[in-house]
Structure 1
Amino acid sequence: MAGHSKFKNIMHRKGAQDKKRSAMFSKLSREITVAAKMGTPDPDMNPRLRAAVMAAKAQSMPKDNIERAINKASVGEGENYEELRYEGFGPGGVSLIVEALTDNRNRTATNVRTIFSKNGGNLGASGSVSHGFSRLGLISYPASAGSADQIFEAAIEAGAEDVESGEDGHEIWTAQEDLHEVARALEKSLGEPESTKLAWRPQTPVEVGEGDAGSLLKLIDSLDDDDDVQTVWGNYEVPDEIMEKLS
């Protein structure tokens, strides 16, 4: 998973999530509720909520589930979640950023630290790895949205900063403050994207060898499995031939 699939590599294997739909829907619902509580329950007027709803739709989350999550915020129901970010190191010298939504800071910190230590990694201090990433907006489209040239032209015209295209799809990067303006412009020319979100883009990717790849992916899977963890970002690239062996 290198080159054409850089973003799939950074975000890890989305296919592994498909077997955990209940847990995935729970995380999506949590983000929708938090986004709705922080702003208005109208996605058109709340960029974060709009992004959360789009992410849920991209994972085929039922409409009733989405509306229920928004209504929880509207009537003041549901837990009050705190946004946390953890930074650490995985096998092969890889840097990882873990984003969480939690109603119990101590529980989440203990779980994340334990997962790192049990899987060949170690949790670092705040800021220990984030300096090696850029905080940007990310808009994802499937390969069927158009050719690399078509997507590039549409993205630049919409105000994007960079585009990565491959057989897995297209990743369009923007300044974080321009994310939703660019996303709206792209919807007019390309249709609704698969996802729109703020992301951590590594400045210097690290290629991981076969000896460390299995342990690294196990670490990331274990973090993904934690109920409080929303997203795991990393600066790793695993060559396609190694990914095939591990699949």
Structure 2
Amino acid sequence: MAGHSQFKNIMHRKGAQDKKRAKIFTKILREIYVAVKSSGSDPSSNPKLRVALISAREANMPKDNVERAIAKASGEDAGTDYIETRYEGYGPGGVAVIVECLTDNRNRTAPEVRFIFSKAGGNMGESGSVSFMFDRFGYLRYPAEKLSADEMFEAALEAGAENVESTDEGHEIYCSVDDFATVRDNLTAKLGDPESGKLIWKAKSPHAITDLDSAQKFMKFMDALEDNDDVQSVWDNADIPSDIAEKLN
């Protein structure tokens, strides 16, 4: 029975992972679709599409999926009209949260996101209610083995970046939103495609979560947001200490 139970647990975890992977693919395909609809199917002249393609590679999305999404968006059919929208508020424990969405029905998405905030004991606020606590950056990541920290710092600054944070896990490069396309293209020409490239919200200061119960409530809240089909990205200023984070796994 123990072996059977273990098998069921493994299958359950695999099913959950497959479901999460499918969710990620759906969000990226929507991003590709919107990018092509807005500026065409040529990545060389469509910065938004290049960012979406980096996300697809990062998620190991099959090439066929990407090509079908581009072909569908390039068709004459007007298709679905997606709107970019952002919601802000405070999650459980007073954590500041920014939720970015792509939706074909704002009247559906806004109540759904508000309900997730409310159910978790949080509060969705007006536009700008928490974004002042974050900085908006262009962000690129390269593997640690690509260059040494000093070499990456020099290459990034030459490319027009503002800052580089290097660790054993990799190099994280930050630049202004306006310079993102230029920095990405300069570094790609020199180093190849980054592991990740996108526009992000980076918290100016962390908000500590100091107990396991609060951390569990916060993670459940984040899972609920990310499970919503219209939600593309979620940014927060939570700081969960490593000893508590280990108990969440």
- The residue type paired with residue 233 of structure 1 is W
8 Å Cα contact 1:137-1:174 kept in structure 2 = yes
Structure 1 residues 19 and 167: alpha-carbon distance in aligned structure 2, compared to 1, 3 A threshold: farther
Match in the other structure for 1:48: 48
What's the TM-score once normalised by structure 2's chain length? 0.88
Deviations 1:115-166 (A, max 9, x none): 1111221111111001111221111223332333232222112111111222
Match in the other structure for 2:31: 31
Match in the other structure for 1:197: 198
- Pairing 1:83–2:104 present: no
Match in the other structure for 1:157: 158
Structure 1 residues 24 and 187: alpha-carbon distance in aligned structure 2, compared to 1, 3 A threshold: same
Q: What are the equivalent positions in structure 2 for 1:72-111 lying under 5 Å apart? A: 72-77=72-77, 78-111=79-112
Q: What is the aligned-residue identity percentage?
A: 55
What's the TM-score once normalised by structure 1's chain length? 0.88
What is the alpha-carbon distance in structure 2 between the residues aligned to residue 117 and residue 86 of structure 1?
Answer: 13
The structure 1 residue matched to 2:233, chosen from 231, 234, 245, is: 231
What is the alpha-carbon distance in structure 2 between the residues aligned to residue 65 and residue 45 of structure 1?
Answer: 21
What is the alpha-carbon distance in structure 1 between the residues aligned to residue 143 and residue 149 of structure 2?
Answer: 11
RMSD, aligned CA = 1.7
8 Å Cα contact 1:17-1:24 kept in structure 2 = no
- Where structure 2 has 5 or more consecutive residues not aligned to the other structure, the ranges are 1-15
Structure 1 residues 179 and 165: alpha-carbon distance in aligned structure 2, compared to 1, 3 A threshold: same
Q: Specify the structure having the higher radius of gyration (Cα).
A: 2
Q: How many residues align?
A: 232
8 Å Cα contact 1:54-1:194 kept in structure 2 = yes
8 Å Cα contact 1:120-1:215 kept in structure 2 = no
8 Å Cα contact 1:208-1:238 kept in structure 2 = yes
- Where structure 1 has 5 or more consecutive residues not aligned to the other structure, the ranges are 1-15
Structure 1 residues 143 and 217: alpha-carbon distance in aligned structure 2, compared to 1, 3 A threshold: farther
Match in the other structure for 1:187: 188
Structure 1 residues 18 and 164: alpha-carbon distance in aligned structure 2, compared to 1, 3 A threshold: farther
8 Å Cα contact 1:90-1:122 kept in structure 2 = yes
